[in-house]
Amino acid sequence: MTEELFRTDHYLKRCEATVTAVDPRGIQLDRTVFYVMGGGQPGDSGTLTLAGGSVVRIADTRKGDGQGEILHVPEAGQPVPQPGDKVVAEIDWQRRHRHMRIHTSLHLLCAVIPAGVTGGQIGDGKGRLDFDTQDTLDKDAIAEQVNKLIAEDHAVGVRWITDGELAAKPDLVRTMSVKPPSGQGRVRLLDIEGVDLQPCGGTHVARTGEIGRVVITKIESKGKHNRRVNIAFDE
């Protein structure tokens, strides 16, 4: 099991760690700051620096088949560390921070559009959510409301509830296709004060103002009950 430092501190850029396993799928560490791909958010890229100074460039971070396995996937032709090696693991912070900004903006979209979410994706500087609705959505009105929530600079925080509390409040779960992970006794909620509260395991900025202005680039009809709303940085 890898200690998932990125779950508790979204601003942690590096950590010291020990290599626990190396195989063709990737490199495992005893602890990591690398976000592992999931919930529509890409895995982190970055570097592992060995004690001797050699650097392993990491292209992606993926879940392995085993319980709790986190695989740091190196770029081709990188030095191969050995189990027991000490490394400094450091993420590509600029890329991650852009993911955090877009991810948080998608929570604001959820707050503005009152419909279930059936899918979503986060990319570099852009993202999208699919809403289960037949309504015609006005992209300029949505952009204005999201930008208002950004300008209001709401605090973003994490709360935990028990599986039982979540089961008693099914309206908290906005994602219709993905059930939040349960069975661990507790579930992490992302709380944008007074705006949005839902289970989420991704990484977010600390205040909505950090997102910066956004635009709704397009709204697509993907079937009778599905509107795909695309958001991007206004840059």
What is the binding site for Zn ion (CB under 5 A)? 190, 200, 202
**Smallest distance from Zn ion to CB 80, Å:** 34
**Smallest distance from Zn ion to CB 186, Å:** 17
CB-count exposure of residue 179 (10 Å: 0-12, 13-18, 19+): exposed
**Smallest distance from Zn ion to CB 204, Å:** 6
Task: Answer whether 13's CB lies under 8 Å from 93's CB.
Answer: yes
**Smallest distance from Zn ion to CB 28, Å:** 25
Would you say 42 or 202 has its CB closer to Zn ion? 202
Would you say 138 or 193 has its CB closer to Zn ion? 193
Would you say 81 or 202 has its CB closer to Zn ion? 202
Q: Which amino acid is at 38?
A: G
**Smallest distance from Zn ion to CB 4, Å:** 15
Residue nearest to Zn ion (CB): 200
Q: How far is CA 23 from CA 58, 177, 227, in A?
A: 14, 33, 42
Would you say 74 or 202 has its CB closer to Zn ion? 202
Would you say 39 or 81 has its CB closer to Zn ion? 39
**Smallest distance from Zn ion to CB 171, Å:** 17
CA distance 189 to 201: 8
CB-count exposure of residue 29 (10 Å: 0-12, 13-18, 19+): buried
Spell out a b/e string for 140-172, using b for 16 or more CB atoms within 10 Å of the CB, else e. Answer: eebbebbbebbeeebebeeeebeeeebeeeeee
Would you say 26 or 202 has its CB closer to Zn ion? 202
Q: What is the DSSP letter of 177?
A: S
Would you say 157 or 164 has its CB closer to Zn ion? 157
Helix (H) or strand (E) holding 21: strand 14-23
Task: Answer whether 184's CB lies under 8 Å from 160's CB.
Answer: no
**Smallest distance from Zn ion to CB 107, Å:** 6
| Angle of helix 139-151 versus helix 93-112 axis, rounded to 10 | 120
| Location of structure tokens 């099991």 | 1
